[in-house]
Amino acid sequence: MSVRGINQVLKVISSSIKQNPSRFSIVSGNQSGDLDSIVSAISYAYFNHIHNSSSLMIPLLNFTRKELSSRKDVLLVFQKHGIDTQNLFFTDDLTQLKNVDQLILVDHNSPQGKVKNPGLEIVGIIDHHEDEGIAIDAKPRIIQKSGSCSSLVFKYWYDLIGDSNKIEDSIIKFLLAPLVIDTSNLTSKVEDIDVQVFKIYSKYLHDFDTGAFYKDVRKAKDDIEGLSLDDIFLKDYKSFEFEVGSSDVVKKVGITSVVKPFDWLEDRFAKLNQGAKMFLEDQHLDIFIIMTSYLNKDDQFNRQLGIIGASESDDVLINLALEAVKDQLEIETLPKYTEESPKLQVFQQKNLASSRKQVAPAFKNALERL
């Protein structure tokens, strides 16, 4: 079989689905829909097709088609690889996808968003987040620390396919994008698996300028100018359900990651606290957490954390949770954001190593222990 390009494979998959097959499976990234989740899902389906073209699997982007426009880094990578978005599937398409019986999760290990369907059997998991202990019989079930989930996806299929001639340069450059973004061009949060796969990638990259590629994609990722506040919040967003103490109370908590500081947001959006509260209400949340990560004027990496509740009782829970996580996250209050109602509390987060991957479990544990 000749090696096919990414878009060619996606076109074949899309055309096959439109013929209403009797059975097929979905591979989906997490609800944040970042570059790592998207590339992991698409490359998993691509390699599945290369390995066994009779096994029909579609990559599902775990957000609406409309939301793709805010992900400028993803659009840039798609453009570089000639990927036609008409060959992709989004959560809007779920109602039209009949005869789906199996689900593979990448970049998360418990279903999120609209793919959270008890009727779907979870048959595969490849992830680098905290293990939530579900689908323990899934094959593969790879939950391992890595800078980028795409590294785990590639290594799984590389070992399974066992023929390097079936892997073309374009899929390697496609996989390279989340690896360099998530590890700051292999300078931060790099694990052994990332080093291993980059050595393999290098055999295909030849004279490819990885540094320039990283800068282009990073610039696109950080470009949120012109987006609405809702678009910014939805661009890298996840929702969770956390139990409170030993009661039957469950709180819906949303966490967004933003690539600009609160000062930037405040300069562009009047009454930021009201905008945050409206987003919380639109998403039917009890607690909304805004995490920012950015470089200051001295090119030093910084983090901030903002949090707002739906009600006075939620504010009480927030304060108790903050007391529990303050030492772990090393947070310091930024008072100017807490003066108006609704109360948006904002903190400088000194623990720079704690991204959402650590912050979500920290708040989960804090609420459970109340």
Write the pLDDT tens digit of every residue in 84-105.
Answer: 999 999 999 998 888 888 999 9
pLDDT of residue 3: 46
For residue 215, the one-letter residue type is K
- At residue 338, the pLDDT reads 60
CA atoms within 13 A on the CB side of 171: 33
**Band (71; pLDDT cuts 50, 70, 90):** very high
CA-based nearest residue to 158, from 51, 30, 241, 310: 51
Task: Please report which residue ranges of 68-191 form alpha helices under DSSP H.
Answer: 72-80, 149-161, 169-182
What's the fold here for domain 6-222? inorganic pyrophosphatase (n-terminal core) (3.90.1640)
Report which of residues 138 and 120 the model is more confident about. 138
14 has pLDDT over 80: yes
Query: Quick one: pLDDT band at residue 1, thresholds 50, 70, 90?
Result: very low
User: What is the spatial distance between Cα 211 and Cα 41, in angstroms, rounded to a whole number?
Assistant: 24
CA 114 to chain centre: 15
Rounded Cα gap, residues 216 and 239, in angstroms: 29
| HSE toward the beta carbon, residue 266, CA cutoff 13 A | 11
Nearest C-alpha neighbor of 164 from the set 211, 126, 202, 213 = 202
* pLDDT at residue 361 is higher than 50: yes
DSSP state at residue 225: T
pLDDT digits (tens, 9 = 90+) for 56-68: 899 999 999 999 9
Helix, strand, coil % over all residues of the chain, rounded to 5? 45, 20, 35
Which distant-in-sequence residues (6+ apart) come within 8 Å of 271 by Cβ? Answer: 340
Q: What is the pTM of this model?
A: 0.91
Contact (CB, 8 A) for 344 and 308:
yes
Q: Tell me if residue 136 falls in helix, strand or coil.
A: coil
- C-alpha Rg value of the chain to the nearest Å: 21
Tens-digit pLDDT profile for residues 248-285: 899 999 999 999 999 999 999 988 999 999 999 999 99
Give the pLDDT score at 148.
Answer: 98
Stretch 23-28: mean pLDDT: 93
Q: pLDDT tens digits for 205-240? A: 989 999 999 999 999 999 999 999 999 999 999 999
Residue range(s) of every CATH 3.10.310.20 domain in the chain = 229-368
Query: Is the model's pLDDT at 2 over the cut of 80?
Result: no
Strand (E) positions, the chain? Answer: 24-28, 57-61, 89-90, 100-106, 121-127, 141-143, 237-243, 250-258, 287-295, 301-309, 331-333, 345-349
Residue 17's pLDDT is: 86
Q: Nearest CA to 8 among 39, 44, 49?
A: 49
Q: Which two tokens stand for residue 194?
A: 């990332």
Fold for 229-368, please state it.
Answer: Diaminopimelate Epimerase; Chain A, domain 1 (3.10.310)
* CATH 3.90.1640.10 domain residues, the chain: 6-222
Question: Using CA atoms, how far apart are residues 298 and 216, in angstroms rounded to an integer?
Answer: 21
Burial 134-144 (b: 16+ CB within 10 A, else e): ebeebeebbbe
Q: What's the chain's average pLDDT?
A: 93
Handedness of CA 195, 152, 13, 52 (dihedral sign): positive
User: Looking at residues 95-117, what average pLDDT do you find?
Assistant: 90
DSSP helix/strand/coil, 9? helix
Q: How confident is the model at residue 23 (pLDDT cuts 50, 70, 90)?
A: confident
Two tokens at 218? 């990073």
